[in-house]
Amino acid sequence: MEKQDELKAFARMCVQGLSDDVELRQERETELLVHLKSAFAEERQNASDDEALENTFKRFGDPEEISSQLIDGNAERLSRNARIRRAAKWLLLPLLVIGVLLCIDIRGILSSVTLLKMVNLFPGKGRTMYDLHVGLKTRPLSDDEQLLFDYYYWRKPSSLKVLAELYEKHHDDAMLCAIYAQELSLPTAGKQEKLPEIIANGRRIDPDNPLYDYLECLMLMREGCCYLPIVSYIQLDESTIQDRSILDKAIIVYQQGLSKGMINTHSDDLLRRIRGMIKIKKDLLGGMHLIDFRAREKLLFVSSCTSIAKGLVLYCDLLDKEGDNKKAVELLATWRIFTRQFLNNDFIHWLDIQTVFLYSIDYLKCAKRLGATDEIATLQTVMDIGKMKNALLRTNVSFVNEGGVLAGMALTFPKLNDDFSEWSNERRLEAATFDTATIGLGCLFLLIVIALLGVDILVMRIGGRRPFLFIMPQSAYTSLLIKGMLLPALVYLVMTYFIAGKGGTGVVLVVVPIAYLCLIWQLYYGICCRRVINKWTHSIGAGSHESFMASRSFNMLCLFVVLLLFFGCVLRPISKWREHHYANMDTLVIINDGEEVLEDKYIRRYKDQLLDQLNDAVNKN
- The two most distant CA atoms of the chain are separated, in Å, by 144
pLDDT digits (tens, 9 = 90+) for 189-217: 766 788 899 999 999 999 999 999 999 99
pLDDT of residue 120: 53
**Using an 8 Å Cβ cutoff, are 487 and 568 in contact?**
no
Q: What residue ranges of the chain have pLDDT lower than 70?
A: 1, 16-24, 64, 67, 71-72, 74-79, 81-82, 118-133, 155-157, 190-191, 227-239, 346-347, 386-422, 500-508, 540-547, 587-599, 616-621
pTM value surpassing 0.85: no
Q: Any residues with CB less than 8 A from the CB of 526 and at least 6 apart, and which?
A: 449, 556, 560
pLDDT of residue 129: 45
CA angle 281, 285, 286 (to 5 degrees): 35
Instruction: Enumerate the domain spans of the chain.
Output: 2-73, 99-103+422-583, 115-124+140-412+595-620
What is the spatial distance between Cα 323 and Cα 501, in angstroms, rounded to a whole number?
A: 64
What is the spatial distance between Cα 526 and Cα 522, in angstroms, rounded to a whole number?
A: 6
Look at residues 246, 215, 213 and name the one whose alpha carbon lies nearest to residue 314.
246
Q: Where are the beta strands (DSSP E) in 76-216?
A: 137-138
**Using an 8 Å Cβ cutoff, are 285 and 221 in contact?**
no
Q: Is 207 exposed, middle or buried (0-12, 13-18, 19+ CB in 10 A)?
A: exposed
pLDDT of residue 156: 57
Query: Given CA atoms 487, 488, 491, 497 in this order, what sign does their dihedral have?
Result: negative
What is the spatial distance between Cα 31 and Cα 540, in angstroms, rounded to a whole number?
A: 8
Spell out the long-range contacts of 79-85 with Cβ–Cβ below 8 A and sequence spacing 24 or more: 81/21, 81/23, 81/24, 81/471, 82/20, 82/21, 84/469, 84/471, 85/468, 85/469, 85/471
CA angle 33, 35, 39 (to 5 degrees): 115
pLDDT of residue 395: 41
Q: Any residues with CB less than 8 A from the CB of 129 and at least 6 apart, and which?
A: 292, 295, 296
**CA 620 from centroid of its chain's CA atoms:** 51
Q: Which amino acid is at 162?
A: V
